[in-house]
Amino acid sequence: LNDFRTGSRANDPNEIMRNIATKLSDREIKAVAAYVSSL
């Protein structure tokens, strides 16, 4: 998510992930990462 937010990763169709990631705070990105890692 950080890479999408900074633009260093841009392989998402129609910039979907970039549009989402740019709206997330650092705290929200950490929360998403913690959730996904617990699945």
Q: Please tell me what DSSP assigns to residue 7.
A: T
Report residue 25 as tokens: 């705070």
| pTM listed for this prediction | 0.72
pLDDT in tens, 11-35: 888 989 999 999 999 999 999 999 9
